[in-house]
A = this chain, B = another copy of it.
Amino acid sequence: MKSEGQITDSMFYIMTALTRPRHGYAIMSLIEETTQGRIAIGPASMYTIIKKLLKQEWIYLQDGSDSRRKVYGLTQQGKLALKEEVDVRKLMLQLAEEGLGGIDNE
């Protein structure tokens, strides 16, 4: 895929979870619960992506987080990036639904 910082699936899911400030473990749980276990991001992926998002300044570490519960949130940049990503994903979803809807035969 193109563009410097492509938003991967996992990044998208994590950023989505962070539209409300959450700590890492809560992010994983939310995604797993929301998708009824169909998508699960393990700790390795999680913290890899968290690091990347921090460096990119799309998320921030909330002040007052102790080492036990590190709470992250989306920065304004992060929100903008997510908004754009939502638009692209909506487009593709629409296409998929149109396609699936129109074909009942083989």
A→B interface (CB under 8 Å): 1-3, 6, 8-10, 12-13, 15-17, 19-20, 34-35, 37-41, 45, 76, 79, 82-86, 88-93, 95-100, 102-103, 106
Residues of B within 8 A of A16 (CB): 92, 95-96, 99
A102–B74 Cα distance when bound, in Å, is 13
| Given A37-B2, A79-B103, also A12-B95 (CB < 8 A) | no
A interface secondary structure, majority: helix
The reply to whether B106 and A97 contact each other, CB–CB distance below 8 Å, is no
Chain multiplicity (copies): 2
Residue of B nearest to A86 (CB): B96
| Given A9-B1, A92-B12, A106-B76, also A99-B19 (CB < 8 A) | yes
A90–B100 Cα distance when bound, in Å, is 14
The contact of A19 among B6, B38, B89, B98, by CB within 8 Å, is B98
The contact of A2 among B40, B97, B106, by CB within 8 Å, is B40
Known: A8-B9, A16-B95, A89-B89. 13 other contacts (CB 8 A): A1-B41, A2-B38, A6-B39, A9-B9, A12-B92, A12-B96, A16-B92, A19-B98, A19-B99, A19-B100, A34-B95, A82-B96, A82-B100
